[in-house]
Amino acid sequence: MLGTVTLVVAALVLALLALWLYGERWRLLRPSTWKTMREAGLRRFLTLNSLYMYLYARWPTELLKGLDLVMPHLGPGIRKWFADTDHIKVLTPELARAIITVDQDIPLRDLEQIIPYPMARDLVLSSPPDLAVFHCACREARDSPCQPVQVCITIGESFVDFLLEHHPEKSRRLTQAEALELLQAEHERGHVHSARFANAFLGRFFTLCNCCKCCCAARDAVVTYDTPMIASSGFVAQVDETRCTACSICEEACLFEAVQVDGTAVVNWDLCMGCGVCVDKCPNEARSLVRDEKKGVPLDVRALAQEQAVP
């Protein structure tokens, strides 16, 4: 088994080297790639997980189109591998804004109580955060995608440099004010904020996604294929039956099919991810988010910063 792994890793290294030498158009190991490799460490970078994430970073739309074709044929074990390698944590609008406006460095470790995946244990945020916006690969992979397409906010110097160097036509730098405006616009469209973690490259958070019901690949993995790629925000939606008029707006808005309306709106606790979309969409103010310890711990950078400050 070890011999096979060694051969695979050696083949990957040779393939990367050959493509790098082929020419500028196909060159893979550009300055930002070397920078990412140094930050991750060579041993961590040269793995199957890293190859998957590298291919996704370079050719995200093509890779997602391929996964759409093969996903129905993958077994539970392979789907679980995808979940552990590339997954997201749902954020309420307030928690998403807090990440953009972080005012101090937050390097923390061992966060599995917040991001319940075996490899997702690091949170590294610098103040002020380095920001860029990138085309959503999920939307670009669809024939009729939601608009706008440029809605994924990348955070962190290494990742921002990588996108700007490899995808200059699809990415641009953002100010904090621009990022907050983008989050607000996406929330008003009924899209879900989520923090995405890339275990393979650097083992940490790297993107704020804005997920829609018709395009999001992670959402499809959860709803269609029962693949646990999304962790709850730590909140759950609650219905005030005295205010609910059974208008079904919340049922239509819910990305995770967690709401059914029959006389009144009913929330499926198991399916609800606590995103807060239904709260703002309800015209009768009959919805609210409540903290639920059984749904996990919120990714609240303000609380994490306070914990770090405690001597």
The pLDDT value given to residue 22: 46
The pLDDT value given to residue 117: 74
For the record, the structure tokens of 180 come out as: 């907050």
Give the domain ranges of the chain: 30-229, 235-295
Q: What is the DSSP letter of 129?
A: P
Q: Whole-structure pTM over 0.75, yes or no?
A: yes
Tell which phi-psi region holds residue 285, choosing left (phi > 0), alpha (psi between -120 and 50) or beta.
left
Q: At what angle do helices 31-40 and 157-166 cross, to 10 degrees?
A: 150
Sites in the chain below the pLDDT cut of 70: 1-29, 34-50, 110, 118-122, 198-204, 308-311
The pLDDT value given to residue 2: 45
Contact assessment for residue 237 and residue 258, using Cβ atoms and an 8 Å cutoff: yes
The pLDDT value given to residue 61: 86
The pLDDT value given to residue 7: 55
Taking the C-alpha atoms of residue 233 and residue 81, their distance in angstroms, rounded to an integer, is 22
Q: pLDDT (tens digit, 9 = 90+) per residue, 109-125?
A: 767 778 877 665 667 77
Contact assessment for residue 241 and residue 250, using Cβ atoms and an 8 Å cutoff: no
For the record, the structure tokens of 18 come out as: 């050959």
Burial of 30 (0-12, 13-18, 19+ CB in 10 A): middle
The pLDDT value given to residue 152: 95
Q: What fold does the segment set 235-295 form as a domain?
A: Alpha-Beta Plaits (3.30.70)
Backbone angles phi, psi at 258, to 5 degrees: -95, 0
The pLDDT value given to residue 178: 96
